[in-house]
Amino acid sequence: MKKSSVVPAASVAVLLLAGAVGCGKGDAQSPEMSPAAAVAKAAENADAITSFRYRMSGTVPEQGKVRGEAAMSVKPLAMSMKMTVEGGTDSGEMEIRLVDKALYLGGGAEAAKEMDGKSWIKFDMSGADGGQGGDQMGAGQARKNPAADSTFLDGSKDVKKVGTETVEGVRTTHYAGTVTLADLKASLSGKDQATREKREKSIDEYDELGVDNFTMDLWIDGEQHTRQFRMRGDADKGPLDMTITFLDVNKPVTVVAPPAKDVADLEEMMKGAEG
């Protein structure tokens, strides 16, 4: 199989699986609540999310501009994402589905040309390490709850209120601040084990990218849920500038595996190569 945009784009998509938070319909955040308290409350609410749908756009290191929409269920774990990458060496459209402990990467007609008519690649995710080399491509990171990224501003020492703005028809209060990885790690002190583990995984991901500090904007609605956030930082291989907008939360998410006739199983492909 020739190298195509199918596999490299997977790591981009997984990276973009970040920041699932609530989407309330209330008025703007109460001005009586301090910026630090408002951000902390939104982070607390994010930890309770069980499913969500969101839109993303921005720039990812090495890949250029990206945009897409995704939906994810935390329990049971399932995810679907459609995205477009522009301006990088792996430009093109990509679809990902995570269901029944298997990760499917869809490359459409272009992938089918390279895989005897198969437009999807299947990775077994049942193993501890993601299986079949999935971790090497970033697929293993799809296991984590992406709500953790939206909580990063809770570790800021200079969070401030910017003003009130409307996001997706909902009045919100806009907060902003800077945060370092050291601040994030320190903010985990006193958190319960489940919360700490979720956030640690997300922190480690950015540590591997070489992003030491962020500028972050957070838009919180009147129910103290984050409606949108923007994260900016300089990674080892280029700038990161991503905006996540949340469309709904805690609603049913159904993900169906692609038709078997359209799927190339990586395990079978590897056995064939060995033979």
CATH number, domain with residue 230: 2.50.20.20
* DSSP 8-state secondary structure symbol assigned to residue 28: B
Per the structure, the complete domain to which residue 74 belongs is given by 6-274
Task: Confirm whether 19 is domain-assigned.
Answer: yes
User: Rounded CA gap, 89 and 83, in Å?
Assistant: 15
Element (H, E) at 226: strand 226-235
User: Cis ω on the peptide bond leading into residue 35 (within 30° of 0)?
Assistant: no
Which pLDDT score is estimated for 267? 73
Domain count, the chain: 1
Amino acid identity of residue 222, one-letter, is G
Task: Confirm whether 1 is domain-assigned.
Answer: no
Structure token digits, residue 59: 């720039």
Q: Which residues pair with 120 in a beta bridge?
A: 106, 263
User: Rounded CA gap, 255 and 253, in Å?
Assistant: 7
User: Rounded CA gap, 63 and 59, in Å?
Assistant: 7
Q: Give the number of other CB atoms < 10 A from CB of residue 93.
A: 17
Task: Confirm whether 15 is domain-assigned.
Answer: yes
User: Rounded CA gap, 148 and 224, in Å?
Assistant: 16
Q: Give the number of other CB atoms < 10 A from CB of residue 259.
A: 9
Helix/strand/coil for 67: strand
pTM of the model: 0.79
Q: Do 154 and 132 meet the contact criterion of CB atoms below 8 Å apart? A: no
* Locus of tokens 């501003």: 153
User: What order do you get walking across the sheet with 238-249 strand by strand?
Assistant: 160-167, 170-180, 213-221, 226-235, 238-249, 51-60, 64-73, 78-87, 92-99, 102-106, 120-124, 263-265
For the chain, 275 residues long, give each residue's pLDDT as a single digit of tens. Answer: 444 445 455 444 544 444 434 444 555 544 578 999 999 999 999 888 889 999 999 988 877 898 999 998 887 888 898 988 887 666 778 888 999 889 998 877 777 677 777 889 898 877 644 444 443 333 433 444 556 788 999 989 999 999 999 999 999 999 999 999 999 888 888 888 888 887 888 888 888 888 889 899 999 999 999 999 999 999 888 899 999 999 988 899 999 999 999 998 877 666 656 55
Task: Confirm whether 75 is domain-assigned.
Answer: yes
